[in-house]
Amino acid sequence: MNQLKLPSYLDQSEAVKDRFDRMKKRPVTLQVKNLNKVFDTPQGKVTALKDINFETYKREFVCVIGPSGCGKSTLIRILAGLETQSSGDVLLDGVAVNGPGPDRGMVFQGYTLFPWLSVKDNVMFGLEMSGHSKATSEEQAFQWIDLVGLGKFAKSYPHQLSGGMKQRVAIARALANQPRILLMDEPFGALDAQSRAKMQSYLHEIWKNIDVTILFITHDLDEAVFLADRVLVLKANPGEVQEVIEVPVPHPRSPEQLLEPEFLATRKRLEDLIHPPEPDVGINEDHLNMVRMVRVDNEVESVF
């Protein structure tokens, strides 16, 4: 097989380097300092997150990626305030967060739309919770619904929508509160490949046009490289930051870039970090112990 000659994922073009320099001069939106999370289980203490440190800049798009069990969901739930850390700080615009609140919007993998509310009322929910009048909430809700392209479905109930549409409503609902940061926990994980690609493009469009920082959890390497400015790579047992990768793929992103050298180089780096080559110790559990179970006179002698 031809080994494709890839550049290093650390090589950045002038434009990309310049953009990162400018980005790092922006104010920090979210800062995570020495974050630890230990679960008490019947089997003893389990360290889910160990000494996590990172920050996101204003209007940055950060993806968090890692093998299963690396605590990425625990991390985002702590950031959302749905779980409490064992030690360490989460600062939003320099202020420690305490419990869930509308300044941190969250989009879950399982949509979590309120089934008893229409699309419009779902989007209005957060606005009404933060004390807006019904009229203002309604007016703003329509703007957000239009933004995600669901104007025609404002009166529909969630069960009448497709998965992708539901997730767009969930995004609109979270954005309606104008959060400082949008936390997304594998939001497109339940979608088929085609809708997922479409949703990724939508999300980028929305992100470009709105003043919001996005922290996006995924286990899909392509998704991470395609969406992110920087990718936070976690490793499992215990969950630690392994590397923060600055994605050298220039903006605006398009699906054609999936085959470009910078993209492939970054993807390969992620692949190596998350699925490191296993040391050959003789016994390979993954090897199937197969014997030939086809009759000798089978019409198809070999599948090759």
Partner 1 sequence: MIMFSNLFSIGTKLDSRQRLTMSVFSFLLPLLIWSLVSYVPFIWHPKVEIYTAGDVSYFNKGLLIDREIFDREVEAAIKESKAIPEGVPANPVYLPAPHEVATALYTAFTTEPKRRNEKWLHESLWDSIQVIFWGFVISSFFGVPLGILAGTYDVFSKLFEPFIEFFRYLPAPAFGALAVAVLGIYDAPKIAIIFIGTFFQQVLVVSNTTRKLDPALLEAAMTLGAKRMSLLFRVVVPGIITHLYKDLRLLLGWAWTYLIVAELIGTSSGITWFITQQARYKNFDNVFAAIIIIGIIGLTTDIILAAIGRKIFPWEKGQAKS
* Nearest to partner 1 of 179, 239 (CB atom): 179
First to last CA, the chain: 18
Q: Minimum Å distance from CB 116 to partner 1?
A: 5
Q: Minimum Å distance from CB 90 to partner 1?
A: 14
Q: Minimum Å distance from CB 117 to partner 1?
A: 8
* Nearest to partner 1 of 133, 160 (CB atom): 160
* Nearest to partner 1 of 80, 274 (CB atom): 80
Catalog residues that contact partner 1 under the rule CB under 8 A: 80-82, 99-102, 104-106, 108, 110, 112-117, 125-126, 129-130, 157-160, 173-174, 177, 183
Q: Minimum Å distance from CB 55 to partner 1?
A: 21
Q: Minimum Å distance from CB 139 to partner 1?
A: 18
* Nearest to partner 1 of 112, 195 (CB atom): 112
* Nearest to partner 1 of 185, 262 (CB atom): 185
* Nearest to partner 1 of 22, 114 (CB atom): 114
- Taking phi first (over 0 means left), then psi (-120 to 50 degrees means alpha), and beta for anything else, what does residue 91 get? beta
Q: Minimum Å distance from CB 32 to partner 1?
A: 18
